[in-house]
Structure 1
Amino acid sequence: MARELMKGNEAVAEAAVRAGLQCYFGYPITPQTELLEYLSRRMPELGRSFVQAESELAAINMLYGATTTGVRAMTSSSSPGISLMQEGISYVAATELPLVFVDVMRGGPGLGNISPSQADYNQIVHGGGHGDYQVLTLAPASVQEAVDMMVEAFDLAEKYKTVVCVLMDGSIGQMMEPCELPEMKPLRKEGEFPAWAARGLHGREKPNILSSIYLKVPEEEVANLRMMRNWQTIKENEIRYKEYYLDDAEIAIVGFGSAGRVALTAVRQARAEGIKVGLLRPISLNPYPEAALDKLADRVKSILVTEMNGGQMLLDVQRIVRGRVPVEFYGRPGGVVPFPDEILAEIHRMVGGGLPLNSDAHRLWLDRMTGKN
C-alpha cells in the first residue's frame, strides 16, 4: 500500500474514519484543532455525524450518549480541554462502555501555551477523574504509530468495554511524516451491534438500560471489583514497549513519545562514541511495562528518565526500580522540546560519574535547570 505524507492530527483523523468512526464530538483547541477540522469535512461527505459542541463538557456527554448505542464514536482535545472532560470520562468508565479519545498535549499548567508537552501523564495514566477506574493509554512516537494506535484503540475499547486514550504530545500532532493508512472498514448495520447496546427492544422483553449510578452500596462495590478484574486482564495482555540497544547496555534511558524519540537519536550518537547505552520506550503507559523495567534494573548500572514535563513518569520508574540502581532525570517542562545534544550531555555526565544511589534526582535536576535560567 502506498504511503502518504500527512500531518499527524490529520492522519489520526483519517485513521479513525477508516476504523469505522460513525460519530465525532469535539471542540477546537490548539494543537489538536486540525484533527477536528479534518473530520468536519470528512465525516459529512461520508454521511457520518460530526458535531462541534459548545464546549468540551458538552462534547464528552454527547459522546457518552452515542457510545451507549454501540456505534464507534470518539472525541479529541488538548490538555485543558481534557481536564474539563474528566467527569464525563469517569461516568463512561463507570458505565463500562468503550470510549476512545485523543489527547494532543500542550504546555501548562493553566492555559499555558500551544507548544508540545507531556504534562498530561498524571491526569491520564493515573485516572484524572474521580473513582477507581483506569484509562488504557497508548503513546505514539511517530505519525505511523499514531495511525496504527488510533485503529487499535477502537478494537481495545470494545474488547474490554473500557476507556482508551491515544496520548500524543503536540509534536506528533503537528509534524508531517509519510504513513500507511489502513483499509476502510464498513460501518455497523442494524443487527451487528453488540448485545449490550441501548437500541430499543429488538426482540428483548426489556430495553438495555446503561447507567453509572449504583445507589445500593454493595452493588457499587461489585461493579468496582468487576472493573478491577477487567483491568487485571488488560494488564496481562496489552502491555507494549520497544527496546533499543539494551542487550549490553550499562545505562538505560526511559522515555515515551517525542521524548523517547529524541532520546533514541542521543543513544545512537553515544553508541557511535562507544558508550554502552540503550533505550526503553514505553508505548502502553497504562498498563505500564513494569516487568520489562524491573528486569532492566537488575542488568544496568544506572537509569535516566527523560520527559517533556517536570518528572511525572519518573515517580513510576522509581517505584518499579525500588532503589536498586541510581535513577536520574532530565525533563523540559512548559512546552520545551529537548534536543538530542541535551540528552547526550546527560549521558556523558553519567558516564563521568553520575549521582550516588538513592540521590534526590529530581531536586538535583531542578538545581541544574534553575541554574541555567
Structure 2
Amino acid sequence: MTLSLNLPQTDGALARYALQGAPLALPASRPAFNRIAYSAAHVVADPRAAIDPWLQSAVDWDATIAYRQRLWSLGLGVAEAMDTAQRGMGLDWPTSLELIRRSLDAARDVPGALVASGCGTDHLAPEDAKSVDDVIRAYEEQMAAIEKLGGKLIVMASRALARVAKGPADYERVYDRVLSQARQPVVLHWLGEMFDPALAGYWGTRDTDAAMDTALGIIAAHADKVDGIKISLLDKDKEIAMRRRLAPGVRMYTGDDFNYAELIAGDGWGNEATHGKSDALLGIFDAIAPAASAALGELAQGHTERFHAILGPTVPLSRHIFQAPTRFYKTGVVFMAWLNGHQSHFTMVGGQQSTRSLVHLAELFRLADAAHLLEQPELAVQRMGQLLAVHGVAA
C-alpha cells in the first residue's frame, strides 16, 4: 500500500503527503516512572445506538475499558470521567458514575493500576443553583457515590459554584466542606476558561495571581487532604510559580498541554522533592500514550536528553489539538484513537466529531506522523482516506 495521500491545506488546495511511517516501538513490559502520570481518557461512543446523539449519550463499554487497559499497560494511570471523557460536553453524571464503576472494576485486575475519578457538580444545572449550599450538596452527592465504589477523587471545578459564588470566601467555604469530608487525599482541579468559558473567574476573581492565593490558602489549610492540584491554564510560568508555593508534600500535576515536556522534566528548584518538577494529569497523554510512556521511562533512568527527544516532537501535535477553541480538543484525541485502530469509528458522544474541520484534522495527521505516533501507518492512511472521501476529496 502506498503511504501517501492528498491532504487539504489551509488555503483549501490539495497537496500530496508522503508518510514517514516510523511508529515508536512499544515497551516490552510496563515501564517504571519517577513521576506520577495520569492520562485523562476519552470514551468510545456506540455509533449504532438508537438515540439522538446531541441530547443523549451511548457508550461502547467494551472498547472504552479496553482503551484504559492499554493505558495501564503503558504504565500510565487513568484520570476517569474528566473533561477528556466529555464530562459536561455530552457525558452526563449517571453515565460518568457507570464509567467510574467499570473502570475501577477493571483496574482491580491490573497490578499497580492507578485510577482517580472526577467528582463535580454537573448533575446540578448552573441555572438551578441558588446558593453555595446547593453546590456543597451536589459535591457531597458525587463524593459519596464515588467513595462508595472505593474511588480516589479528583475534585473538578464547578460551573454552578462559578455562577453563585460572590467572592473567594464562598470558594473557601465549599472546599473546606468538601476536603474535610474526603476519605483520602484528593486531587484538586483548576480548569481555565479556555477549556470551559463557564469557569471564568474561578476562585472568586479574574485576577490569576489573586485566584492562586485563594487556592493555595485552601490547600495549606487542608494539606493532609490534598494529594495535589492539577492546573490547566496553559501558562507555564503560573504553574511553576504555584508549585513552588505548595504546602510540603502536595504535588503539582501539570495540565498544561502546551508546555508539559519542560514542566515534567522540572527545573530542580529548591530542596522539596515535589516542587521542582510537575507530575502529570494530561488529556494529551491519551493521544500520545506510547511517546509519554517511552519518554517517562527514559526520564526515570536519568536519560533527560532521550526524554526530550521522544516527547519534544509531540508538543506541536498537542498545541494543534488544543488550539482555540480549546474545549474542542476531545475531537483530536478521539481522531487519534480511530486512526490508530483503538476504535472502529470516528463518532463521538454528543456528535462532537463535527467540532473540527477537515483541514484541522489533515494537519493533525501530518503532525502525528512527524511525532511517530501513527502506530499502524497503513491503517492510518486507509482511515484518513475514508474521511477524505466523506468530504468529497479523492485520496
* TM beyond 0.5: no
Structure with the bigger RCO (C-alpha within 8 Å, sep 6+) is: 2
Q: TM-score, normalised by structure 1?
A: 0.28
Q: TM-score, normalised by structure 2?
A: 0.27
By percentage of residues, which structure has more helix? 2
